[in-house]
């Protein structure tokens, strides 16, 4: 076994999920994630936790959904009971075909998702962590050879998370103390209020309220957005390639938009509901183990020297206790990414925090460059 | 997809498990049983039942068990809750290595099994069915090519179960009406009492209290066994090849035994406890879709023109209601098979029921041949 598979399992079980003796663990395994599942089972056993292994297959899910009449039962007892009695849920993505769900009608997917709201809530109450085992299908999606993709994925996953968490704590401190953020680059000059918000240091561990491995971003929930922003990182949204999105905000809402490719996807998102016109997230990517875009949000939005903004739903974790219901509400949460590695700066309360990808606590930083 | 995979799924869901709308179904999938799992998911969806898919991997189980300190928690809540809320459990065997558990110490396996007694009881309370997807590993175990093994497995599984059930009902009627069974062949003249017993028509359906697919046997629980019996079908018992077992019974208990190969395995079994010296099962194999031995008890004991006897534990289902506790008790249940296709006969209360493989209701039967 590639020793990185065992290291991945160790990071997942120990750093990310903090599995402890007696924990009831559900391990969701993708069809091609078997190898990592074996390594994770070993770590779960070592810790004296209790393991149930579930099979998470796009083909199985598709066959079931397409054959069903669409009137899905609400929160089936057996799955709800499993989830309500779980302490930790580890989900290892790694299918054989990233497009497996492409012919399941969106309304069927939505009906199924809606019928499982109680299960999803029980799941969110666990110490859940999502990761991926680098598979050939994911390599293909990233337009890489299998070996190249494994290098890429493990560079992103096998970080020194403790020191990255310390590094990100600096960014969190700046955001927590600040009131207004400004991003400036080509076709971009955007200001947002972050007054009374709590930034999350997303250090790939439930101990940091962070549930993805890899992670490596600091995010908050902006408001009162004004100005324009240009997203130069191409992305697949709802199965469509979307390129060079440009948004204009007034009074916190999108008033104009354009895209070089599949502009209508952006229009559809904005039309979802009122919340879809507002930003739900501002994220600062700080994982420098990720050095290229692979059309996977799990990796792309964490990339060092990038900033992402999401239209739609905000996370309650960005609000002070008791104020979680002030989070922007929407049925969607769509991330878009802009490269800030050069000719750009990020200001908080009028002071430059990052210029051309370099933070002010790093060597080579020049506020006025 | 091989159309037989879909037929297998249909038999499993409709004939065997009788899955109905709203049933909570747990589908246990072996690592190489993916294809059948997809077909089963479709049938479960068609019926409007609720699906949870579990992953049943020898490698995952081994890694967990070997890493654990051996002090397994009793009936972990999450798995127990899943099972207690399940109506149907479909287990599709089909691993990649039939010997995967070979280096897990028996005491670890026993400790794990003991710690899951409540889960097992909840499982037994469901409409559970076990089957196998023909995999390369199973083909290897059967000493067949993959294609040959698939032919073999589907011949056994894709029967006209309804008409086989009718056929087996005749055998059940004979046993239910009878008091004494006698088997005569080379080195064999064995009599057993079946007074006050209920024969089970094991027609591969929960509707017949039958939980294996394939099945195709009628079985009961014998007592007061006298005489000798010779098992000419080779078998792997506890990982050892056992050949030509000969047992002598007096007053219902084994008083002498021999085997041409690995005789000590039989000695070890007999030494387990008092119940291990008595018979727990007499089974009449009636599935003529199974035409050769493949060293898999799921198939071998159902083969047409064979009879099997098990040392050890009897099934409560062979006793009238309220008398289930009269079933022979033992920690073991070890099946052994004898070929009755020629030079042999089976008598019930002094009347020949089967001679040289032909039952008395079949063409060509001659009681006195």
Contacts of B42 in chain A (CB under 8 A): 63-64, 66-67
Contacts of B24 in chain A (CB under 8 A): 76-79
DSSP state of A87: S
The β-bridge relationship of strands B50-55 and B24-29 is parallel
DSSP state of A100: T
Nearest-CA distance B130 → chain A (Å): 18
Q: Does B353 lie in the same domain as B311?
A: yes
The token pair that represents B338 in the structure block = 């004898």
pLDDT digits (tens, 9 = 90+) for A228-253: 999 999 998 888 899 999 999 999 99
pLDDT digits (tens, 9 = 90+) for B137-165: 999 989 999 999 999 999 999 999 999 99
Q: Does A178 lie in the same domain as A113?
A: no
Nearest-CA distance B129 → chain A (Å): 18
Which residues have CB under 8 Å from A121's CB, separation 6+? none
pLDDT at site A368? 84
CA distance A364 to A292: 22
Contacts of A19 in chain B (CB under 8 A): none
The residue-averaged pLDDT of B255-267 equals: 96
B78 vs A55: CB contact, 8 Å cut-off?
no
DSSP state of B252: T
The domain total for chain B is 2
pLDDT band with cut points at 50, 70 and 90 for residue A101? confident
Angle at which helix A3-10 crosses helix A34-46, to 10 degrees, equals 50
CA distance B316 to B310: 14
Of B26, B57, B68, the CB nearest to A78: B26
pLDDT at site A238? 83
CB pairs under 8 A between A and B: 147
Of A44, A63, A82, the CB nearest to B45: A63
Q: Does B113 lie in the same domain as B49?
A: yes
Query: Which range is least confidently modeled, A170-184, A289-303, B188-202, B339-353?
Result: A289-303
Percent residues over pLDDT 90 in chain A? 92
pLDDT digits (tens, 9 = 90+) for A2-29: 999 999 999 999 999 999 999 999 999 9
The residue-averaged pLDDT of A316-343 equals: 94
Q: Does B145 lie in the same domain as B167?
A: no
What is the CATH number for B126? 3.40.1830.10
Residue B252 domain-assigned? yes
Nearest-CA distance A140 → chain B (Å): 22
pLDDT band with cut points at 50, 70 and 90 for residue B246? very high
B66 vs A29: CB contact, 8 Å cut-off?
no
A41 vs B63: CB contact, 8 Å cut-off?
yes
Reference A297, options A312, A288, A309; nearest CA is A309
Domain's final residue, options A138, A157, A176: A157
Of A64, A65, A81, the CB nearest to B85: A81
Reference B100, options B185, B22, B187, B31; nearest CA is B31
- Candidates A69, A78, A87, A95: best to mutate against B (most CBs of B within 10 A) is A78
B76 vs A38: CB contact, 8 Å cut-off?
no
B368: pLDDT strictly greater than 90: no
Residue A173 domain-assigned? yes
CA distance B156 to B297: 13
Residue B366 domain-assigned? no
- Candidates B63, B83, B104, B133: best to mutate against A (most CBs of A within 10 A) is B63
Reference A128, options A204, A52, A196; nearest CA is A204
Nearest residue of B to residue A72, measured between CA atoms: B48
Of A37, A77, A85, the CB nearest to B24: A77
Reference A61, options A132, A9, A116, A15; nearest CA is A116
Residue B365 domain-assigned? no
pLDDT at site B258? 97
Domain's final residue, options B157, B179, B208: B157
- Candidates B48, B50, B104: best to mutate against A (most CBs of A within 10 A) is B50
Q: Does A111 lie in the same domain as A54?
A: yes
Contacts of B65 in chain A (CB under 8 A): 45
pLDDT at site B6? 98
Contacts of B48 in chain A (CB under 8 A): 68-69, 71, 73
Query: Which range is least confidently modeled, A49-63, A190-204, B198-212, B230-244?
Result: B230-244
Round to the nearest angstrom and report the end-to-end CA distance of chain A: 48
Nearest-CA distance A40 → chain B (Å): 8
Contacts of B38 in chain A (CB under 8 A): 57, 59-60, 63
Nearest-CA distance A114 → chain B (Å): 14
DSSP state of A60: H
CA distance B236 to A234: 59
Residue B369 domain-assigned? no
Nearest residue of A to residue B96, measured between CA atoms: A34
B57 vs A53: CB contact, 8 Å cut-off?
yes
Nearest-CA distance A12 → chain B (Å): 16
Q: Does A279 lie in the same domain as A187?
A: yes
> Is-cis flag, bond preceding B214, omega within 30?
yes
Contacts of B31 in chain A (CB under 8 A): 34
Q: Does B210 lie in the same domain as B147?
A: no
**Domain coverage including residue B133:** 3-157
CA distance A317 to A209: 8
Contacts of B63 in chain A (CB under 8 A): 38-39, 41-42, 45
Nearest-CA distance A253 → chain B (Å): 41
A31: pLDDT strictly greater than 90: yes
pLDDT at site A173? 97
B355: pLDDT strictly greater than 90: yes
pLDDT band with cut points at 50, 70 and 90 for residue B98? confident
Nearest residue of A to residue B53, measured between CA atoms: A55
B57 vs A67: CB contact, 8 Å cut-off?
no
Nearest-CA distance B9 → chain A (Å): 12
| This prediction's pTM | 0.91
pLDDT at site B100? 87
Q: Does A328 lie in the same domain as A215?
A: yes
Contacts of A52 in chain B (CB under 8 A): 54, 76, 78-79, 82
Of B64, B71, B82, the CB nearest to A78: B82
Contacts of B34 in chain A (CB under 8 A): 31, 57, 59-60
A38 vs B60: CB contact, 8 Å cut-off?
yes
Q: Does A182 lie in the same domain as A153?
A: no
Domain's final residue, options B133, B157, B181: B157
Residue A364 domain-assigned? no
Nearest residue of A to residue B84, measured between CA atoms: A78
B369: pLDDT strictly greater than 80: no
Residue B340 domain-assigned? yes
Q: Which ranges of chain A does DSSP label H, i.e. alpha helix?
A: 3-10, 34-46, 58-67, 77-84, 106-115, 117-124, 136-141, 146-157, 161-177, 263-271, 297-300
CA distance B129 to A50: 25
pLDDT digits (tens, 9 = 90+) for B276-287: 999 999 999 999
Of B31, B61, B83, the CB nearest to A34: B31
Nearest-CA distance A131 → chain B (Å): 18
Q: Does A188 lie in the same domain as A106?
A: no
The residue-averaged pLDDT of A207-235 equals: 96
B34 vs A31: CB contact, 8 Å cut-off?
yes
A50 vs B73: CB contact, 8 Å cut-off?
yes
Nearest-CA distance B94 → chain A (Å): 14
Vertex B84, ends B70 and B326: CA angle to 5°?
80
Nearest-CA distance A44 → chain B (Å): 7
DSSP code string of B117-178 = HHHHHHHHTSEEEEEE---HHHHHHTT--HHHHHHHHHHHHS--HHHHHHHHHHHHHHHHH-
pLDDT at site A331? 87
The token pair that represents B213 in the structure block = 């697919």
B67 vs A42: CB contact, 8 Å cut-off?
yes
Mean pLDDT, chain B, as a whole number?
96
DSSP code string of A292-319 = S--S-HHHHTTBTTEEEEEEEPPPGGGS
The residue-averaged pLDDT of A34-53 equals: 98
Q: Does A206 lie in the same domain as A119?
A: no
Residue B153 domain-assigned? yes
Q: Does B186 lie in the same domain as B307?
A: yes
């Amino acid at each position: 076994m590639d020793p990185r598979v065992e290291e991945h399992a160790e990071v997942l079980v120990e750093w990310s999920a903090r599995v402890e003796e007696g924990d009831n663990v559900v391990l969701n395994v993708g069809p091609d994630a078997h190898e990592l599942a074996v390594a994770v089972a070993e770590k779960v056993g070592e810790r004296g936790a209790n393991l149930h292994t579930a099979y998470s297959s796009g083909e199985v899910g598709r066959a079931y959904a397409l054959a069903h009449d669409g009137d899905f039962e609400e929160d089936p007892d057996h799955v709800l009971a499993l989830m309500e009695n779980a302490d930790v849920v580890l989900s290892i993505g790694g299918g054989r075909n990233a497009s497996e769900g492409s012919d399941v009608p969106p309304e069927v997917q939505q009906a199924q998702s809606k019928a499982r709201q109680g299960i999803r809530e029980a799941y969110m109450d666990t110490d859940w962590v999502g990761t991926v085992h680098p598979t050939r299908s994911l390599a293909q999606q990233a337009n890489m050879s299998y070996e190249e993709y494994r290098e890429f994925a493990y560079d992103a996953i096998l970080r020194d998370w403790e020191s990255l968490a310390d590094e990100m704590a600096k960014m969190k401190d700046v955001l927590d103390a600040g009131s207004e953020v400004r991003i400036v680059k080509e076709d971009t000059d955007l200001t947002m209020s972050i007054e009374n918000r709590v930034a999350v240091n997303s250090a790939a561990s439930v101990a940091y309220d962070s549930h993805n491995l890899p992670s490596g971003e600091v995010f908050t929930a902006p408001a009162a957005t004004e100005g324009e922003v240009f997203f130069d990182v191409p992305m697949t949204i709802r199965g469509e390639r979307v390129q060079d999105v440009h948004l204009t905000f007034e009074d916190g809402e999108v008033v104009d938009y354009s895209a070089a490719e599949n502009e209508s996807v952006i229009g559809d998102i904005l039309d979802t509901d009122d919340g879809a016109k507002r930003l739900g997230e501002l994220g600062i990517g700080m994982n420098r183990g990720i050095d290229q875009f692979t059309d996977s949000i799990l990796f792309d939005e964490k990339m060092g020297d990038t900033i992402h903004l999401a239209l739609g739903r905000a996370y309650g974790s960005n609000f002070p206790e008791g104020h979680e219901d002030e989070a922007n509400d929407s049925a969607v949460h769509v991330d878009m990414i802009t490269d800030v590695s050069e000719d750009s700066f990020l200001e908080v309360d009028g002071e430059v925090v990052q210029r051309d990808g370099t933070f002010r606590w790093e060597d080579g930083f020049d506020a006025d460059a």
